[in-house]
Amino acid sequence: MATFKAYPSGASMGCPGKGGARENKRGSVNGWSAASVRRHVRWLWSVDVPALDGDGYGVTLTVRDTPADHGDWKQLREAYLRKLRDAGCIRWHWVTEWQRRGTPHMHLAVYVPTGWLPPEAPISDSAAARRAVTQAWLTSTWCEVAGEYGALWGAQVAKQITGPQGWLKYLAKHSARGVRHYQRQGVPSGWTGTGRLWGHGGSWPVVEPVAGVMEQATFFRMRRLVRRRLIAQARAQGDWRRVAYLRRMLKNGDPTLSAVRGVSEWLPSDLFLTMAFAAGWSGELGAITDTSALPEVA
Query: Is residue 298 over pLDDT 70?
Result: no
Q: How confident is the model at residue 291 (pLDDT cuts 50, 70, 90)?
A: very low
Question: Cα 17 to the chain's mean position, in Å?
Answer: 27
| Percentage of residues of the chain with pLDDT beyond 70 | 90
Q: List pLDDT tens digits, range 87-124.
A: 999 999 999 998 888 899 999 999 999 999 999 888 88
Q: List pLDDT tens digits, range 210-253.
A: 999 999 999 999 999 999 999 998 999 899 998 998 999 888 88
Average pLDDT of the residues in 256-261: 86
Predicted confidence at residue 17, as pLDDT, reads 66
Predicted confidence at residue 292, as pLDDT, reads 45
* β 104-112/11-14 pair status: unpaired
Phi then psi for residue 129, to 5 deg, are -65, -40
Q: How confident is the model at residue 131 (pLDDT cuts 50, 70, 90)?
A: very high
- Would you state the CATH architecture of domain 48-202? 2-Layer Sandwich (3.30)
The one-letter code for the residue type at 219 is F
Predicted confidence at residue 32, as pLDDT, reads 83
Query: Is residue 135 over pLDDT 90?
Result: yes
d(CA 106, CA 197): 9
d(CA 267, CA 83): 35
d(CA 181, CA 32): 10
Secondary-structure breakdown of the chain: helix, strand, coil percentages, each rounded to the nearest 5: 40, 20, 40
The one-letter code for the residue type at 34 is A
Average pLDDT of the residues in 123-141: 94
Distances (CA, A) of 49 to 212, 214, 233: 22, 28, 21
Predicted confidence at residue 164, as pLDDT, reads 75
Query: Is residue 296 over pLDDT 60?
Result: no
**Which residue did the predictor score with more confidence, 245 or 76?**
76
Where, residue-wise, is CATH 3.30.70 in the chain? 48-202
The β-bridge partners of 13 are 4, 263
* β 157-161/55-61 pair status: antiparallel
Q: List pLDDT tens digits, range 148-178.
A: 999 999 999 999 998 777 777 777 676 667 7
Cβ-contact 270, 50 below 8 angstroms: no
Least confident of 41-55, 185-199, 203-217: 185-199
Averaged pLDDT score across all residues of the chain: 88
Average pLDDT of the residues in 261-273: 92
SS3 assignment for 202-261: ECCCECCCEEEEECHHHHHHHHHHHHHHHHHHHHHCCCHHHHHHHHCCCCCCCHHHHCCC
Cβ-contact 147, 60 below 8 angstroms: no
Predicted confidence at residue 174, as pLDDT, reads 67
The alpha carbons of the chain give a radius of gyration, in whole angstroms, of 21
Q: List pLDDT tens digits, range 2-39.
A: 999 999 999 999 987 654 445 455 556 678 888 888 89
Query: Is residue 289 over pLDDT 60?
Result: no
Q: Report DSSP letters for 8-51, one per residue.
A: SS-EEEE---TT----PPP----S--HHHHHHHHHHHHHB-GGG
| Percentage of residues of the chain with pLDDT beyond 90 | 62
Predicted confidence at residue 231, as pLDDT, reads 95
Residue 110: Cβ within 10 Å count: 24
Predicted confidence at residue 91, as pLDDT, reads 96
